[in-house]
Amino acid sequence: MNTKLHLVFGGELHNLHTKRFKDPDNVEVVGLYSNYQAAYDAWKEASQSNVDNANCRYFIAKLYQLMDEEKSEGPLQEFSS
Rg (alpha carbons) of the chain, rounded to whole number: 15
**Helix/strand/coil (H/E/C) assignment for every residue in 44-75:** HHHHHHCCCCCCEEEEEEEHHHHCCCCCCCCC
**pLDDT score, position 18:** 86
What is the rounded average pLDDT for all residues in the chain? Answer: 85
Residue-range domains of the chain with CATH: 6-66 (3.30.70.2400)
Which tens digits make up the pLDDT trace of 44-73?
999 999 999 999 999 999 998 887 666 555
Query: What pTM value is reported for the model?
Result: 0.79
User: Could you give the 3-state DSSP secondary structure of residue 39?
Assistant: helix
Predicted local confidence at residue 81, as pLDDT: 43
Query: What confidence category does residue 16 fall into, taking pLDDT thresholds of 50, 70 and 90?
Result: confident
